Amino acid sequence: MTRVVIAKVWEIPPGGRKIVVPFRGRAGIGVFNVNGRLYALRNICPHKRGPLCTGELTGQIAADAPPSAYDSDLKVNGEGEVLRCPWHQWPFEIATGRCLVDPEVRVKTYPVRIDGNDIVVDLDD
């Protein structure tokens, strides 16, 4: 296990992110602060290798029924918890790396923790 310091804690406030490119010879990593919890994702989209972590933050857009039915509310659930790849707009749940439009697709996640004032990612060697 290799300990890599990504940032100081104050560098990534809630809603913020830090991207390190390249990351130890790899495609890059993005560390996100979502409502006070930190997550780390590989900065490469499993769809077409776009720079995923540079994408827009959004929520899960939901509707219980078509707009012609009784409930026409369009909801934005979990605002800031979803990352949209800038290439082709596929949405990913930051907390899990799960792609919301294709259950077969997932972006690699890394364990991330706070150690003193450091945000640290532990890498498999």
**Sites of contact with another protein (CB under 8 A):** 17, 19, 21, 27-28, 43-44, 48-51, 53-56, 84, 86-89
Residue 4 vs 21, nearer CB to another protein: 21
Two tokens at 77?
Answer: 């659930």
Residue 90 vs 112, nearer CB to another protein: 90
Q: What Cα–Cα distance (Å) separates residue 20 from each residue in 25, 27, 71, 112, 122?
A: 11, 9, 43, 14, 15
CB of 28 to another protein, least distance (A): 6
Residue 47 vs 112, nearer CB to another protein: 47
Give the integer Cα–Cα distance in Å for 37 and 61: 21
